[in-house]
C-alpha cells in the first residue's frame, strides 16, 4: 500500500499574522480557504511552489494559547540563496537565529519562528 504525505496541520491564534509570515516572508500561496463560522473555525491551505505537501492552518476563533509539545521540533524549507533569505528574515519582525553549520562546518541553515512559536528551519537547497 502506497502512502503520500499531503498536509501538515498547524493550529494558529492570529490568522492574519500567520498568513503574513508564510505568504510574505516565504513564498507560500493560499490554495483555499474554508470558513465555518457556525463551528467557530477556519481552515486555510497553503501551497509551497515545488512541493505537493500543503500546510493546513486551523484557526479556532475562541482558542486559548496553544502549547507546542516537546515532541514537535520544526518545519523545514529549502531556499536557493540562504544568505539573502537570512537577511530578509533578520530584517523582519520574526525571531531569527544565526546561520549555522554542523560540527564547525560551513553554515547551511538557520531557524525563524512564526507568530505562533512554530520554528521553521531554512536550509540551503542542495
User: Which residue among 56, 64, 87, 121 is the active-site one?
Assistant: 121
- 121 in catalytic set: yes
Q: For residue 112, give the nearest of 102, 101, 97 by alpha carbon.
A: 97
- Distance between CA atoms of 7 and 18, rounded to whole angstroms? 17
Do the Cβ atoms of 62 and 47 come closer than 8 Å?
no
Strands, E assignment, 1-126? 7-12, 29-36, 41-47, 54-60, 75-79, 109-113, 119-124
- The residues carrying an active-site annotation are 121
Amino acid at each position: 500500500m502506497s502512502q503520500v504525505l499531503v498536509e501538515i496541520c498547524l493550529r494558529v491564534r492570529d490568522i492574519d499574522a500567520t498568513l503574513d509570515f508564510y505568504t510574505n516572508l516565504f513564498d507560500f500561496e493560499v490554495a483555499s480557504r474554508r470558513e465555518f463560522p457556525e463551528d467557530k473555525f477556519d481552515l486555510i491551505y497553503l501551497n509551497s511552489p515545488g512541493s505537493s505537501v500543503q500546510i493546513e492552518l486551523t484557526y479556532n476563533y475562541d482558542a486559548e494559547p496553544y502549547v507546542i509539545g516537546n515532541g514537535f521540533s520544526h518545519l523545514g524549507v529549502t531556499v536557493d540563496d540562504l544568505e539573502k533569505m537570512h537577511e530578509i528574515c533578520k530584517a523582519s519582525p520574526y525571531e531569527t537565529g544565526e546561520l549555522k553549520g554542523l560540527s564547525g562546518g560551513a553554515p547551511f541553515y538557520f531557524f525563524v519562528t512564526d507568530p505562533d512559536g512554530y520554528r521553521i528551519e531554512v536550509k540551503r537547497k542542495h
